Amino acid sequence: MYEIEIIAGFSSAHLLREYKGKCEHLHGHNYKVHVTVQAESPGPGGMIIDFGDLKRITGRVVEPLDHAFLNEIPPFDKIEPSAENLAAYLFHQIASQLPEQTVTLSSVSVWESDTARATFRSKGE
């Protein structure tokens, strides 16, 4: 199995409505997003997907979140904008834009600090 990963980032603010503590107050993060895709074998040019293509897809997905108040952006206007929910949201958005039958999105990790991350992976990983 071949696997590649790209890293993207965005800055945004949020508050956790159902949390009691510091994070219930408005605060921000400089998020790092790690996107990992896999394939059984490389395709033309010896790649499973061009890094640039994966970066563009991820960039289109994270761009609306950059310098935004996450609590006002669907689906986070209804669900908590936690790192876990961000990872799942980004996973599904990126997966829907990948070329079919070329690569499989295996995981998306969202780092909200240098020492804290949440990961969402496809079932079976």
Q: How far apart are CA 57 and CA 102, in angstroms?
A: 14
User: Which residues are paired to 11 by β-bridges?
Assistant: 30
Taking the domains of the chain in order of start, what are their residue ranges? Answer: 2-37+49-121
| CA distances in angstroms from 35 to 22, 78, 80, listed in the order given | 29, 25, 21
CATH topology of domain 2-37+49-121: Tetrahydropterin Synthase; Chain A (3.30.479)
75: preceding bond cis by omega (within 30 degrees): yes
At 125, the pLDDT band (50, 70, 90 cuts) reads low
Active site residue 23: yes
Of 5, 23, 34, 84, which residue is the catalytic one?
23
Of 3, 67, 92, 125, which residue is the catalytic one?
67
Give the tens place of pLDDT for each residue, 35-56: 999 999 998 889 999 999 999 9
Which pTM value belongs to this model?
A: 0.94
